[in-house]
Structure 1
């Protein structure tokens, strides 16, 4: 992988994959829901949508048609820490695709009529999350874990804040955060070096906010224990149990990732085998970890019939208590290591996955570990390391989110 730094500080990371016929390109901006004040809640995500709504040179329809014409995929997403606009195209269409992305990024018109229309679209998107209990229960969990920090807020925002968004708010937000030092362009695939020169010519000259306003997210989030419940007339009861996790730059993060695999990250994990295979208490049960620059979480999720909710939670608690007191086995750790290495290696066989890895690493961590180094780190994790992180993770300090019908007997 190579790195080019433009005169204004915009970084371009590019990795040649000559055996492919595609190129993936992403514009990464260090601006997410963590950077919003209360009045801006949802604005990062709103801007992501608005960049597809037309420029001074192209209508929204023209943007879609031109990408279809070159057979390209274009998409975007917003997270708590970043926004990414990306495309994957055949190698000989790379510069054309980049030209359209540049137009969207620098010349979007943010028409007031389109702003009002998009508010309705995003309200429907928020409603779709609320209509999906396994998504909704997770979003509600974050509001319990980090109630006094933007990291605990949903990315989409809420009706009250969305209703007040306007062109000036968008301009002010982008002036504050869409600055050269916050922008990374990531390329992976069979590209020509002229593409890098083209990107540098387009991104290397603009200037941002010279004042360098501190990010709202500089405030350290503090994990809180708590419980939130929501009654809804649905067939299943859904629960998330959240524990404090680790930040992205923590040296012990791979210890936690391996613990996740053993607890509920795979089909051979303890949660899956005990709750689904042996007891038949749930169809869907798993664990996962989330890590951001300053904080993280370790979460256990399960969805089951209302009458089985208590039995499932008792089993979850018994499994985590057993791991905490007795530790994991050498076989479990060995399997988890091989699973993790395979996930990483197999996941990097596409140009898009390489582009995402490089872009995120540059933007958030400003470092790039080679595959061999990552494998070495995984192999070096000892069983005592995983047992220690389990002991520290599974404590009474936890947050709980439940969505269930009124008929369910809640275990808390």
Structure 2
């Protein structure tokens, strides 16, 4: 059972007891991501995520790491387009110590200028590593094509020109604007007692937002844009992403799209995997995925192949997409996709950390918690007509393409790519 406690300042504590495990997962979720950044703040959400590990008034970065090692716990964080999450998983009897360290990091980080300069270099290296990883780089470039004028199309890590300007003042101002009680959810799952919830309440219910900081609440709606972006560099493989308009998290057809993704390229029995890898041997890695946010979403097909097979693989991809759009999927494919999705969903909830992540995101973004039975029912209730309809609506001529290929590769003519 998922329980909710709201602190007097508005911070929400979501907790789910799992008495049969020996662990507790704790996450601090903040509704602050790359979508919330101005052009000058591009990458600041991710930068702050890094800086919270660099030291407080009573712990330096090494001490934070050592203390979590001492209690046998893992600590990590990530930034997305819509949120930032700081989380840990520890043995149940170390839960109060873990939340004490997390809250110290959250409230008392120093943002020392020397540490800022060091982390600036680390993050620039991280960005360079993405550019050196073409299957990641091709995806980030695709988003810049799909949403070229909206923050959702920006990379989460930022760019060199903005990162070089970040300082303590910018960090403090951004956090004053977005690290506010109503934007914070504490999610706990595992074997805990009520004293832990009381302890968290005491540590998080005393801070308030800065009244002098005006909140930026109005965000323009992202508009999907067709287009093509190519990049040639000294690599062995060619990589391609084809993106289509997707669905937002609010859309009641989202489970239709999730099942379509499974059939198209989400599993080893999917159309893309079977035809492009198993039958034709064109690629080792080929798949599809969907991304859904509160404002919009996307459906993406990816493949990596040798340069001489790029054109053939793209044609095969678009042939498969075209056949699904014109002829639909089969009843057997839908049944298999439903069972695979239910299995993935249910098996994924067997750990305290997975439950903590599910509950934290649902509370922060959706403000609701569907039961396991409700989610299974939503999957079971999807019909063949539902999936075929969403395929027809998704796979339009409006699409974006991103390609990264060796310098020696002869890319197909641009007009062919966008036909």
By how many angstroms is 1:408 displaced?
2.0
Question: Which residues in structure 2 correspond to 1:77-92 (within 5 Å)?
Answer: 77-92=78-93
Decide whether the 8 Å contact of 1:255 with 1:389 is kept in 2. yes
Q: Structure 1: any 5+ residue segments left out of the alignment?
A: none
Matched, 1:138 2:135: no
Cross-structure match for 2:321: 320
State how far apart, in whole Å, the 2-side matches of 1:211 and 1:171 are.
13
State how far apart, in whole Å, the 2-side matches of 1:272 and 1:129 are.
25
Decide whether the 8 Å contact of 1:37 with 1:216 is kept in 2. no
State how far apart, in whole Å, the 2-side matches of 1:167 and 1:117 are.
13
Cross-structure match for 2:129: 128
Match of 1:218, SS? coil
Match of 2:287, SS? strand
State how far apart, in whole Å, the 1-side matches of 2:125 and 2:18 are.
39
Decide whether the 8 Å contact of 1:24 with 1:352 is kept in 2. yes
State how far apart, in whole Å, the 1-side matches of 2:304 and 2:48 are.
34
State how far apart, in whole Å, the 2-side matches of 1:88 and 1:250 are.
32
State how far apart, in whole Å, the 2-side matches of 1:212 and 1:259 are.
44
Decide whether the 8 Å contact of 1:236 with 1:304 is kept in 2. yes
State how far apart, in whole Å, the 1-side matches of 2:231 and 2:359 are.
39
Cross-structure match for 1:354: 355
Decide whether the 8 Å contact of 1:35 with 1:216 is kept in 2. no
State how far apart, in whole Å, the 1-side matches of 2:211 and 2:289 are.
40
By how many angstroms is 1:213 displaced?
3.7
By how many angstroms is 1:374 displaced?
0.4
- Structure 1 residues 232, 217: closer, same or farther in 2, change over 3 A? farther
By how many angstroms is 1:17 displaced?
0.2
Question: Which residues in structure 2 correspond to 1:395-410 (within 5 Å)?
Answer: 395-410=396-411
Cross-structure match for 1:71: 72
Cross-structure match for 2:152: 151
By how many angstroms is 1:321 displaced?
0.4
State how far apart, in whole Å, the 2-side matches of 1:265 and 1:324 are.
17
Cross-structure match for 2:100: 99
Q: Deviations over 1:92-128 (max 9, x none)?
A: 0000000000000000000000000100000000011
Cross-structure match for 1:29: 30
Match of 2:48, SS? helix
Decide whether the 8 Å contact of 2:362 with 2:368 is kept in 1. yes
Cross-structure match for 1:377: 378
Q: Deviations over 1:244-288 (max 9, x none)?
A: 000011100000000000000000000000000000000000000
Decide whether the 8 Å contact of 1:150 with 1:217 is kept in 2. no
- Structure 1 residues 291, 55: closer, same or farther in 2, change over 3 A? same
State how far apart, in whole Å, the 1-side matches of 2:397 and 2:213 are.
41
By how many angstroms is 1:215 displaced?
3.6
State how far apart, in whole Å, the 2-side matches of 1:263 and 1:220 are.
28
Decide whether the 8 Å contact of 1:34 with 1:217 is kept in 2. no
Cross-structure match for 2:281: 280
Match of 1:369, SS? coil
- Structure 1 residues 17, 74: closer, same or farther in 2, change over 3 A? same
By how many angstroms is 1:205 displaced?
1.3
Match of 2:88, SS? strand
Matched, 1:289 2:290: yes
By how many angstroms is 1:209 displaced?
3.1
Decide whether the 8 Å contact of 2:147 with 2:225 is kept in 1. yes
Cross-structure match for 1:234: 235
TM-score, with normalisation over the residues of structure 1? 0.99
By how many angstroms is 1:410 displaced?
2.1
Structure 1 residue runs of 4+, over 4 Å off? none
Decide whether the 8 Å contact of 2:73 with 2:88 is kept in 1. yes
Q: Deviations over 1:312-343 (max 9, x none)?
A: 00000100000000000000000000000001
Cross-structure match for 2:58: 57
Aligned residues: 412
Cross-structure match for 2:266: 265
Q: Structure 2: any 5+ residue segments left out of the alignment?
A: none
Cross-structure match for 1:344: 345
Decide whether the 8 Å contact of 1:310 with 1:409 is kept in 2. no
State how far apart, in whole Å, the 2-side matches of 1:113 and 1:349 are.
42
State how far apart, in whole Å, the 2-side matches of 1:356 and 1:201 are.
23
Greater Cα shift, 141-150 or 202-211: 202-211
By how many angstroms is 1:233 displaced?
1.1
Q: Deviations over 1:150-178 (max 9, x none)?
A: 00000000110000000000000000000
Decide whether the 8 Å contact of 2:177 with 2:215 is kept in 1. no
State how far apart, in whole Å, the 2-side matches of 1:72 and 1:391 are.
47
Cross-structure match for 2:221: 220
Match of 2:321, SS? helix
